[in-house]
A = this chain, B = another copy of it.
Amino acid sequence: MAVRGAARPTKADVARLAKVSTATVSYVLNNVEGQRISPQTRAAVRDAADRLGYRPNLAARNLAVGGSGVVLYIVPRIALGELPMEVGSRLTTALARHGIVLSLQFETDDDRNVIDAVTDLDPAAVTSVFPLTGAALAAVSARGIPQIHLGSAQLRAMGALHLSIGELRIGHLAERGHRRIAFAHSDIDRLRPLGDYWLEGLRIATRARGMPDLEVATFATDGTGAADQVRTLVDDGVTAVCAQSDETAFVVLHGLRQAGLRCPEDLAVMGVDARPLGAVSGPPLTSVGFDARVIVEVSVAAMMAELGYPTEHDPGIEHVATLIQREST
């Protein structure tokens, strides 16, 4: 049990209590390789350390190693479910354990905050879910700061997620007799790559079943023109649409209501993301829910590895996604 006095114990205190030198303390606490230290000394140090509730002073450590001890995490502004925030959250605690603090930066139009943060905080690295672009990218690479992002490369590594999701969705729709299916893209540019990623999985699934290729439509986030688009789709003989995300699915649903069409009778709609709001949309939305835990773990592990803190634990990749059947299909 740590006794909390006024001042935090320093490495010197630990050394004194363990009756060794500060260097030794440093070695055992940092698990420095190439130093052979007797198990008992090691134990003594460890004991003294947590007897005192010792925690290294980050400022001092950073000063000594010449780093800032800060890593930036850029959060996309667009609603992409809770995942990015979840990843950020987990990353925060995972890194804190290593004494480095994660500074979340939310995307803005001008990337100003990112640029400021880069110059003010001098981060050791910049992490993000999507690759940086524009001014932020320029600022970061100008300073030679390593950037780490979780592109579809990692997603692919994640058991070819798009394939299993695609199969899951198309399978569900095919079972219900749908053959002509459309894909609803978001009109947010930034999300395009993600949409394309899902689309690819869907395409492969339809092809495997000898179904006609998917039609593609892009829906405006604010619902503008959705009714007309939906009507066109239905007139073309499309009977179901797979949206790029639940958000986009909501827009399609909106279009259906505006057009006076019924869901799923006239057009079935399916999202992917399983946001809580899907339970109360009109009608409640069928979607596929991710096991956030697994995805987050993979992401965090990848980033930690990239940052030089490899995680020994490689989480299993099974069952990352499950169908959530509601009334829209």
Residues of A bordering B, CB below 8 Å: 2-5, 8, 53, 55, 57-60, 62-63, 67-70, 85, 88-89, 92-93, 96-97, 99, 101-106, 113, 116-117, 119-122, 142-146, 221-223, 226, 247, 250-251, 253-254, 257, 276-277, 279-284
Contacts and interface: CB of A to CB of B under 8 A. Distances in A.
Nearest to A86: B106
Instruction: Tell me how many chains of this kind the complex includes.
Output: 2
Contacts of A120: 55, 96-97, 99
Contacts of A62: 58-59
A106 B89 contact: yes
A122 B76 CA distance: 28
A138 to B, nearest CB: 12
B63 A68 contact: no
A74 B221 CA distance: 30
A88 B282 CA distance: 33
Contacts of A68: 57-59
A265 to B, nearest CB: 15
19 contacts: A2-B144, A3-B144, A4-B145, A55-B120, A58-B59, A59-B60, A59-B69, A60-B63, A89-B106, A92-B105, A93-B116, A93-B117, A221-B276, A222-B276, A250-B281, A253-B282, A257-B282, A257-B283, A281-B282
A5 B143 CA distance: 5
Nearest to A1: B146
Given A5-B142, A103-B92, A145-B4, A280 B97 contact: no
B119 A55 contact: yes
Given A2-B145, A93-B117, 8 more contacts: A2-B144, A4-B143, A59-B67, A60-B63, A96-B120, A223-B284, A250-B280, A277-B277
